[in-house]
Structure 1
Amino acid sequence: MSQRGVFATNLEKLLLYSLDDDNLVSEDCKKMIVKIYDHFQLALHQIENVNNIFADSIEEAKENLQKQIKGVEKEYISILGIFASIVLAFVGGITFSTSVLQNISAVSVFRLLLVVDFLAFVLINVIYILVKFIFTINEKNAKLFSVKAMNIACLIIAIIIVISWILNVNQIPNFISEFLPWSK
C-alpha cells in the first residue's frame, strides 16, 4: 500500500512535469506518460473494487453462516425437545399408571379418580407446551390437538367426580339392594 502511494506521487509529479510547456518533453513522451498515468489510475480503481467486492462477500458469508448456525441450533433444540417430550410422556404415563395401581386400595375411589384426573391434566398441558415450544422455535405453524377441549374434558370429569363424592354415589348399589324385593 505504501509503495503504491509512493508510485502514485512520483507518477503524478512526472505527469505535471511533462505537461508543463516550459520543460522540453516531446509529444510522444507526453502521450506515453498520460497513458501510464491512466493505466495506473485504472489499476488502482480495480484494486479498490476487488477489495470492496471481497469485503462485501466476507460480510455476506458471515451473515449466511450466522443464519445456518441459528438453523442448526434450532434443529438441535428441536431434537432435544422432541426427545424430552417423548421421555416425559412415556415415563410420566408409566409412573402415573404404576402409582395409581399401587394406591388403588389405600384411598377412596373418588379421591383416587380426582388425583388421576389432575395428573392427566398436568401431563397433557406439559406435553402440549413442549410441542408448541418446539414448533415456535422452528417457526412452523402446525395445528396441534385442541388442548382447550382436553382441559374442558378434564374439568368436566373432575366436576362429575366431586359431585359423585358429595352425593356418595358408591352407596347407591347398597341402597338399591336393600329396597328392591328381588335383591333380598
Structure 2
Amino acid sequence: MTTRWLTPEEQRAWRAYNAASRLLEDVIDRQLQQEGGMPHLFYMVLANLSEAPDRRLRMTDLAETLKITRSRLTYAVTRLERDGLVRREDCRRDRRSSLAVLTDEGMAVLERTAPGHVETVRSALFDRLTPEQVGQLAEICTGIARGLQDEDPGAGAGDLPWRRRSSCSP
C-alpha cells in the first residue's frame, strides 16, 4: 500500500485546524472552569439534557450526541451526580439502559453559566468569521461528521466512540 502524503496545502490546512481546535477548546474550557467550575464536556452534558424532553436522555443516546465513549460519559455523569447537577434513573422500557436527568440545581448552574459560555464562543469563533464563513464552517464540519459516521463499519465507523465498550465490559 502506498502512503498518500498530504500536499503542502493539505498540510497547512491540517496544522491550522489542529491549532485552532486546540486553542478554541482551551479558551472554552478555561471560561467554563472559571465561571462554572466544570470542563467543557460537563457543560455539554448539562446543555444537551436541558434541551431533551423532560430534561432526560438515555445514557447511550447522550454518548452518541456528544460523540464520546460510554465510559467517558459515565465518568462525567458520576461527577455531575456527585455535585447534584444530574441524577440517574433506571429506564422503564429497557432494563439494560439508564437515563441521565438534569436536576433543578443543574439547570440553575447551566442558566448561570450559559451567558459567559455563549459570549466566549462568539468572541473566540464567530466574531472572527464572516457570515459566509460561518455557513462554510457549518457545511464543512457537517460533511466531515456525516462522512465519518456513515463509513462502512469495516472502515472504522463501527468503532465510533459511543459504540465502544470499555475493557471492563462483559
TM-score (norm 1): 0.26
More helix by share: 1
Could you say which structure has the larger radius of gyration? Answer: 1
TM-score (norm 2): 0.27
